[in-house]
A and B are shown apart, each in its own frame.
Chain A
């Protein structure tokens, strides 16, 4: 059975800290790994990773995929209160079916 596991499940940090979120996956017919941010309702797309070892960056967020270790990390540097959210790690198979992890709840305190 396909599964995606995220750690930690939650964490609290102070503004300005750096956060590293972990994701491991076991997925048949794996095609890509995605990260979404969920604040209230709709998850919003952050990154899609298909190649191992190539870092993707968007502002203070970055992510990388390790296909050998079947894992990915999402980094957030210089955190701000607006980064408080649930971060979802998601695998996509060759049919485009998404398998979500349980999410990591990040709370950034002023």
Chain B
């Protein structure tokens, strides 16, 4: 079975631009969560969606938004990019509130 997939793998943007990251969960998983991992730190929680509804939001500015589609895939949008948004963005899926399984991540570089 395919694991969590994310696209793109790498992305380079300039300050002020907007970016959309995509995630497809493991088949049968209805919950998707997004995390930001800055070099040298553990992942930080951004959003959790379950059955297409937002279940939780971390301490991130409104420039960050997300949504979950009827097929349970998800998008993370970041507007007005800042240098500090450069990070590895991880998506994880789970069946309900069980163990979360992570995708390979999208490496975002903001110049």
Contact = CB atoms under 8 A, between A and B. Distances in A.
Given A34-B99, A41-B88, A42-B102, A97 B56 contact: yes
A31 B94 CA distance: 15
What class of interface size applies to chain B in its complex with A?
Answer: 20 to 34
Interface stretch (B37-45, B65-73, B74-82): B37-45
B103 A42 contact: yes
Contacts of B94: 96
B104 A45 contact: no
Given A4-B42, A41-B105, A99-B45, 8 more contacts: A42-B102, A42-B103, A96-B55, A98-B43, A98-B45, A98-B100, A102-B40, A103-B41
Interface of A: 4, 31, 34, 36, 41-45, 48, 88, 90, 92, 94-103
Nearest to A2: B45
Given A41-B88, A100-B43, A95 B102 contact: no
Interface in B1-52: 4, 31, 33, 35, 40-45, 48
The A interface is mostly helix, strand or loop, or mixed, namely strand
Given A42-B104, A96-B97, A97-B56, A102 B90 contact: no
A100 B44 contact: yes
A7 B69 CA distance: 39
B56 A95 contact: yes
